[in-house]
Amino acid sequence: MSEISYLDGPVLKPLFKLLHKSYLGTGFVWIALKAVERIGNGAHPHGRHGQRIKWTSFKRLILTGQSHLDAAWRWRTKQGIIKARATIKKALEHIDDVPGFTFTQPSPQYYQWMKDYYPNLYAKIKKGVKDGRFILFGGSWVESDTNIPSGEALVRQRLYGQRFYLKEFGKMTDVEFLQDCFGFNWNLPQIYKKSGARIFGTGKLFWNKTTKIPIGMCHWESPDGTKLPMIHIHFGYFIPMNYGKEYPLIYLLGKPGKQLVASYQTPAKVFAEWRSREYMLENVFGYGLGDGGHGPIEFEIAVVKILKRLYPKIFKYHQEGDFYAMFKKYFPRWATWRDEWYLDFHRGTYTSVARVKRGNRECENQLEELEKSLAIAQLYGYKFPQEGLEKAWKTTLYNQFHDILPGSSIPEVYNDYDLDYRQVMNFIYTQSEKVQRHLIKYLPIDQQKGKPIIIFNPLSWNRLGLIEVDIGSNSSGALRDRNGRSEEHTSELQSPNTI
């Protein structure tokens, strides 16, 4: 996608601005809205479930200006930074020009880019957040893949993301929103809720070809029993179609007082017995160009203004806290979902560009081990490298982005990844060597009695395992533990210099 969409170019942009500042476009938009209604209800004169879905059927639709932006995909990170700037700059212009307009952006990494490279623009973002026009969303450092990273890394995504929001804006967000990730692992409700989320949303599962979404909203319950409200949110302009033709069952509420605990193994007839014939007629109306960023263009601003003019009691600009507050009243009639959320559309993402998967796991594991050894060394006077450790973690977390780690980006993205990987591993090796040299000074070792071998178990439980040690030119001798117990090792030599 080009940086500036042709629909927002110098010819059409002034025309669309004229439309939303006058009544010229109202008739055209009304005709388009009626066409969407007609397609959604099809040939059913009374609707697909005894209720024709029209725009006037809805009690409330929250207008959410947004723009999904891939940090890297068909472009490298350096282009992603430029796209982020263009997207945010346009959103701030709309905030100035359009009364009530609000914008959401879910990745703290993008705010960090603005702070580092465009401080004047970042100052305007901070003002927008303070004024309630630029709404904090998400809370993970980036919209990462959620199936490949370790549990520790997923926690760190939230730790560094929410900490950034708290430090820079004085508050955290209570909505985690991952628009484009390739499926969602079953443990996420536990991680997200315990790091401040009150509700989770995504639109990615609408991409599925064979694994259809059985319910559009639920209490997602992780294996530990943590429940987090969840909503599947589709693009706003086609909401009557989604409720009607495309996904006619998923937004039906459960029968009052009837509970359902479901998974992908739940038979369709069980869902049918649980469902009422009553729709949840409040939802989110998201709008704005995405993937390459850009956000709401002038055409969309015109359409949204006309929607508010036609249906002023239904359409409302998004305000902080609206997501949870709007859906809360329906929670007693939502099912409980005990399963992952599986995406069948993107195949091969567990195997593509395997070196990235291997490197990610190395960085995750060794950063965690390093931090444990650093914590011990700090007790003995070692200066904890907080800034360096955080930078290494954030670099690792960034490369878990849902188009980098799964292997779906252009080759140049992985050239950049290789540089990041070497930088992180260099930090790990350098710090590990320094920590070992520091700690050994405090261990009660008599060098005259033999060569010391230090074994560190980074896990929080006792373990058994094989350890390979270079013993130099010694062909015999004894291994002694810290209590002096020895064991002959001549029969255990694996090579002339290794035991």
Find the length of the chain: 499
Q: Kindly state the helix (H) or strand (E) to which residue 302 belongs, with its residue range.
A: helix 298-310
Distance CA 240, CA 48 (A): 12
Q: Where are the alpha helices (DSSP H) in 22-98?
A: 26-41, 77-97
Tell me the C-alpha distance between 247 and 229, whole Å: 20
Neighbouring residues of 123: CB distance < 8 A, sequence distance ≥ 6: none
Nearest by Cα to 218 from 340, 323, 334: 334
Instruction: Report d(CA 100, CA 131) in Å as an integer.
Output: 11
The sign one gets for the Cα dihedral 52, 59, 130, 391 is negative
- Residue 107's nearest CA partner among 93, 125, 94 is 125
No. of H helices and E strands in the chain?
A: 14, 15
User: Quick check: is 418 catalytic?
Assistant: no
Of 310, 112, 285, 270, which Cα lies nearest the Cα of 203? Answer: 285
Which residue out of 8, 70, 145, 180 is catalytically annotated?
A: 180
Known catalytic residues are 180
